Structure 1
């Protein structure tokens, strides 16, 4: 199955913009009457047919709707952007394919980069959802300060973890986390969190966790954390 994306599919028929129409009709050579499958990124899957194969404004008709229930767990990754934006884009693409629900870009004392182009990242996320046949698009949050994030009361019901490098921090995330829950995992920059930031996280009930014996790059640590929580919740990944 090939999956396409379109926001706000509220009616039985809808039009694609020029870019999507050109891709569908000219690049993929779809014709009037062909069957196509769309998602709105909100959990719905739409089986459709092409009513008008216009490469500038294709018209699509919904034939059937299906709803994909939400997961009974929730993975929120808060991570400091890497100095090289390509590495962060790669990670966001891969964790979307594996299955992350929310991503927050975080600024810490040792951060190497304080911003990324959100519109570019969102396009990477949508493309990864289409590739991996996901009907829900992860939420992407703009940059925020680490100290503001850890004191946010909305995480009171979450299992809260901070991953950092320390020879005494040996218990793996897989051992500490409990299944069927909401999680937030903090991943620092290449220079790691400062001692003050780690203490602040502890004071706000974040638990230390390890991601393995190796010292990981930031983007590898983010990928490992998401994959670990997916395995904990019984999800088979490729």
Structure 2
């Protein structure tokens, strides 16, 4: 199944015009023609079957044949807040793999030991969209703007969410499967390359976060974030 991302599409429409980028991909790259069928996703759970009626390389016109709402709707919500790495390619790798595995919200958090203070959301969102299409998902993970660690703790819900923090300081910790229940809303904090500061760890604990271990190996930031994502996915299979 070849998916095309159409965020402006909604179930009430009978016809739709693909964006120039998606039109070019359909007509120039895939060499699709009038009468060919394709599938569209709106990033909000809608999966659409459509047929090409005007195969224009800049504005391909489609007729919508069928709509399936809430396609493969997840039964849990995973929000990972992670310190952006100095090498932005590593965060792009994490976003790609996490989208494929299953993640619903990501927030870059700027911490005391962060080496990178800024990220380009447009570039990262393109990685997420490509991974969503490749993995046949209909829900687009939400990428939030970067925010300071302290502000993030102020903004998150106080109730109705399971909250954990992964850090490298020697302390009593539990594994994710010992703490989390299936089909819940989770927030997982993953620190930057220099880890969270002692003050940040204490502040997270004061705000109801439980400390977790991701194993005995020392993991890179992006690896730790993906490992947490995988564990939550396994928990909710």
Q: TM-score range by the shorter chain?
A: over 0.9
Q: TM-score, normalised by structure 2?
A: 0.96
User: What is the aligned partner in structure 2 of residue 23 from structure 1?
Assistant: 25
User: What is the aligned partner in structure 2 of residue 188 from structure 1?
Assistant: 191
User: What is the aligned partner in structure 2 of residue 5 from structure 1?
Assistant: 5
Aligned with 1:34 (options 30, 36, 42): 36
Aligned with 1:74 (options 73, 77, 80): 77
RMSD: 1.1
User: What is the aligned partner in structure 1 of residue 223 from structure 2?
Assistant: 220
Q: TM-score, normalised by structure 1?
A: 0.95
Q: CA deviation at 1:70?
A: 3.0
SS of corresponding position for 1:142: coil
List per-residue Cα deviations over 1:116-171 (Å, max 9, x = no partner): 11001111101000000000000000100111111335242110001001333442
Q: Quote the Cα distance in structure 2 between the aligned partners of 1:131 and 1:7.
A: 16
Matches for 1:45-56 after TM superposition, within 5 Å = 45-56=47-58
Matches for 1:114-129 after TM superposition, within 5 Å = 114-129=117-132
Q: Quote the Cα distance in structure 2 between the aligned partners of 1:152 and 1:201.
A: 13
Matches for 1:85-234 after TM superposition, within 5 Å = 85-234=88-237
SS of corresponding position for 2:130: helix
Contact 2:72 2:138 in 1 (8 A): no
Q: Quote the Cα distance in structure 2 between the aligned partners of 1:137 and 1:56.
A: 24
Compared CA separation, residues 153 and 116, structure 1 to 2 (3 A)? closer
Q: Quote the Cα distance in structure 1 between the aligned partners of 2:124 and 2:210.
A: 29
Compared CA separation, residues 218 and 72, structure 1 to 2 (3 A)? same
Q: Quote the Cα distance in structure 2 between the aligned partners of 1:121 and 1:98.
A: 17
Q: Quote the Cα distance in structure 1 between the aligned partners of 2:156 and 2:140.
A: 24
Structure 2, unaligned runs of 5 or more: none
Structure 1 stretch displaced more, 121-130 or 172-181: 172-181
User: What is the aligned partner in structure 2 of residue 60 from structure 1?
Assistant: 62
List per-residue Cα deviations over 1:21-72 (Å, max 9, x = no partner): 1111011100000010011010010011001001121001110000126322
Structure 1, unaligned runs of 5 or more: none
